[in-house]
Amino acid sequence: MTLTISPWRVTAVLLASAVGLAVAGVAGQFSKYVLGYNRVFGLVRLFDLDAEGNVPTWYSALLLFLAAALLGVIAYAKRARWEPMPGTGPPSR
């Protein structure tokens, strides 16, 4: 089984989601400090880039989990094909 992932598409999706979260965070701070609306249906707190337990924090945790899962899949595939990892071959004399 071969799984092909386009690096350009992954980059575009990650960049678009990061920019979207940044724009939402800036919009929330603008609403809070310039317009004087502290809540806006809870969206200001939900997208605050300086807080914990919100959408940007979950996004960051999801990226770390996906990176770890991808590394695990790569290690499993290499092990299944019996390819030695770089630097782990027999010692040279």
Per-residue pLDDT of 22-77, as tens digits, reads 999 999 989 888 888 887 887 888 888 888 989 999 999 999 999 999 999 888 88
In a domain, residue 63? The reply is yes
In degrees and rounded to multiples of 5, residue 4 shows phi and psi of -110, 125
How many residues can be counted in the chain? 93
In a domain, residue 44? The reply is yes
Whether the full predicted model's pTM is greater than 0.85, yes or no, is no
In a domain, residue 10? The reply is no
In a domain, residue 67? The reply is yes
CA angle 5–57–39, rounded 5-degree value: 130
Task: Give the three-state DSSP class for 82.
Answer: coil
Structural domain of 68: 19-80
pLDDT of residue 83: 59
3-state DSSP: the chain helix, strand, coil percent, rounded to 5? 65, 0, 35
In a domain, residue 25? The reply is yes
CA distance 19 to 42: 20
In a domain, residue 71? The reply is yes
